[in-house]
Amino acid sequence: MSILNGVLRNTYALLSLSMVPTVIGAWLGVAFGLNFMAGNPFLGFIVFMAIAFGFFWAIQKNKDSGLGVLLLLGFTFFMGIMMSGLIGYTLNSYSNGATLIMLAFGGTAAIFAVMATIASVSKSDFSGMGKWLMVGVLLLIVASLANIWLQLPALMLTVMVLAIAIFSAFILVDVQRVINGGETNYVMATLAIYLDVYNIFTNLLALLGIAGGNRD
């Protein structure tokens, strides 16, 4: 049990550290106006997925070494750059953009705290949810790609709300997997939970912009 607690502690420590390159990447992206999705969203998505899966493969291959940690931090820097388009849009489009970003950060932190606590204390087994949640993620990707052409506001809102719900549930699965010994590598555990937190934050921020953004 002490070993598993050590994995969880290391996971949370690396997760906290991973926020630093994410913020740096987002700041640089906003400062230099980087937005890979602006010109051709579909092509941008393909390039993003290719780079992301390249990182996934490299991190998996080097998960037991210090290089794995460096690759993970490099990935979070890349994800920060990818987030910069949304951050820049929020700051430039809404007079309360900075407030919306802080609200999204606080909301994401609250969701993580609640879900991680439930995963830690609950006697329920959440592992069975994993495959259904993955199906949900695939459907979200298909719906998001379709909406590049459809441009349906209702579909966009639905995707955002479902994404927040699905990745919140993924925190239950991913944290409990570490606690139960299903994942004993803290680098891979951090990668999984980081993706949960990242997707909650970005979708929550976009949703807050639509619901509470002030364009005055």
Q: Report CA-CA distances (Å) from 98 to 26, 84, 89, 208.
A: 14, 13, 11, 12
Cβ-proximal residues to 99 (8 Å cutoff; 6+ apart), any chain: none
- Average pLDDT over the chain, rounded to whole? 93
Query: What is the pLDDT at residue 69?
Result: 98
Q: Is residue 80 within 8 Å of 30, Cβ to Cβ?
A: no
How many Å apart are CA 201 and CA 106, to the nearest integer?
9
Q: Is residue 105 within 8 Å of 116, Cβ to Cβ?
A: no
Cβ atoms within 10 Å, residue 126? 21
Angle at 13 between CA 12 and CA 18, to 5 degrees: 95
Confidence of residue 4 (pLDDT cuts 50, 70, 90): low
Q: What is the pLDDT of residues 78-133, one digit of tens each?
A: 999 999 999 999 999 999 999 999 999 999 999 999 999 999 999 999 999 999 99
Cβ-proximal residues to 157 (8 Å cutoff; 6+ apart), any chain: 207, 210
Tokens of 104: 């999204």
Evaluated on CA atoms 134, 136, 138, 141, the torsion sign reads negative
Q: What is the pLDDT of residues 40-82, one digit of tens each?
A: 888 888 999 999 999 999 999 999 999 999 999 999 999 999 9
Q: Is residue 33 within 8 Å of 88, Cβ to Cβ?
A: yes
Q: Is residue 198 within 8 Å of 55, Cβ to Cβ?
A: no
How many Å apart are CA 98 and CA 117, to the nearest integer?
29
Query: What is the pLDDT at residue 72?
Result: 99
